[in-house]
């Protein structure tokens, strides 16, 4: 299995990772726990070292599954989990919450469910418009200093948010770089929007489902209006919403 280094602080993962969402949540009924543990461990045996989960998947049960399945491989795998949702009694959380105090509470709970001492990659599940990204990054910065988190990342963030997070983390000297925002290194150039657009266009070209392709097209059209014309040259205009 090929390896990839992400960011500037040596975070190395397998080129192919395993997202564990569908094992307990999201795509129909939860699967048999023993079978899913076997799947995760089989992935490790085949060279996969990067596993993705989140407190919102289940909720909570996915982290518990991943924690149990990967317990024998501590130090040999990278586990990514996420924060950013307000917990409630329903199965599907809908409200965002990236207040610094909540981020730290989520980290403590995730550490217990995953049965680890430090979260390899901790990233914001969705950008919370009610909390400045600088405050979010500052909270994770504290967790890195405390040894509870190694690397920080963002999910589905735009260029401006990425730049804000990057700027707020400029003074961190011990800890990691972000994963999904490794392109922060490009934030000093005007090409960041084009770079992010290229990632989405690639995802579009590789999607097999018309529904998925339509969803990706909507995201691109919403997030990159200035570059929408470039997209229209590559895909059918009927898919641009």
- Domains of the chain and any CATH numbers: 3-184 (3.20.20.100), 189-241 (no CATH)
**Per-residue model confidence (pLDDT) at position 8:** 76
> CA-to-CA distance for 128 and 131, rounded, in angstroms?
6
Identify the pLDDT of residue 197.
Answer: 60
* pLDDT at residue 57, as a whole number: 93
Crossing angle for the helix pair 33-45 and 61-69, to the nearest 10 degrees: 50
pLDDT(104) > 70 = yes
Active site residues: 57
Rounded mean pLDDT, 63-71: 98
Tokens of 77: 């795998």
Stronger pLDDT, 65 or 214, i.e. the higher one = 65
Residue 188: its pLDDT value, please? 36
Q: Is the pLDDT of residue 164 over 90?
A: no
DSSP secondary structure letter of residue 26: S
State residue 11 phi and psi, 5-degree precision: -70, 110
Mean per-residue pLDDT of the chain: 80
Q: How confident is the model at residue 55 (pLDDT cuts 50, 70, 90)?
A: very high
* Predicted confidence band of residue 48 (pLDDT cuts 50, 70, 90): very high
| Whole-number pLDDT of residue 7 | 76
3-state secondary structure (DSSP) of residue 82? strand
pLDDT band at 114 (very low <50, low <70, confident <90, very high): very high
Peptide bond connecting 59 to the previous residue in cis, omega within 30 degrees of 0? yes
- Confidence band for 32, pLDDT divided at 50, 70 and 90: very high
Which of 153 and 236 is assigned the larger pLDDT? Answer: 153
- Given a cut of 90, is residue 54 above it in pLDDT? yes
156 — pLDDT class (breaks 50, 70, 90): confident
pLDDT of residue 187: 35
State the pLDDT at residue 40.
95
pLDDT band for position 174 (cuts 50, 70, 90): very low
Position 158 scores a pLDDT of: 77
For the entire predicted model, the pTM comes to 0.72
| Whether pLDDT at 43 is above 70 | yes
Residue 154 preceded by cis peptide, ω within 30: no
């Amino acid at each position: 299995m090929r390896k990839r280094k992400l960011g500037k602080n040596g975070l190395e993962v397998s080129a192919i990772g395993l997202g564990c969402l569908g094992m307990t949540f999201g795509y129909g009924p939860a699967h048999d726990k023993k079978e899913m543990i076997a799947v995760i461990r089989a992935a490790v045996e085949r060279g996969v070292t990067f596993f993705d989960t989140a407190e919102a998947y289940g909720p909570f049960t996915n982290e518990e599954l991943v924690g149990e399945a990967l317990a024998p491989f501590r130090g040999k795998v990278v586990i990514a989990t996420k924060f950013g949702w307000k917990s409630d009694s329903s199965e599907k959380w809908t409200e965002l919450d990236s207040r610094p105090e909540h981020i730290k509470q989520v980290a403590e709970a995730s550490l217990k469910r995953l049965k680890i001492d430090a979260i390899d990659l901790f990233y914001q599940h969705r950008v919370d418009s009610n909390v400045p990204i600088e405050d979010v990054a500052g909270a994770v910065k504290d967790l890195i200093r405390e040894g509870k988190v190694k690397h920080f990342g963002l999910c589905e963030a735009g260029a401006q948010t990425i730049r804000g997070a990057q700027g707020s983390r400029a003074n961190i000297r011990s800890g990691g770089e972000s994963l999904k925002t490794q392109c922060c290194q490009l934030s000093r150039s005007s090409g960041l929007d084009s770079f992010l657009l290229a990632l989405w266009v690639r995802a579009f070209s590789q999607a097999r489902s018309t529904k998925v392709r339509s969803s990706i097209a909507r995201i691109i059209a919403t997030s990159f209006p200035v570059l929408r014309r470039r997209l229209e040259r590559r895909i059918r205009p009927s898919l641009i919403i």
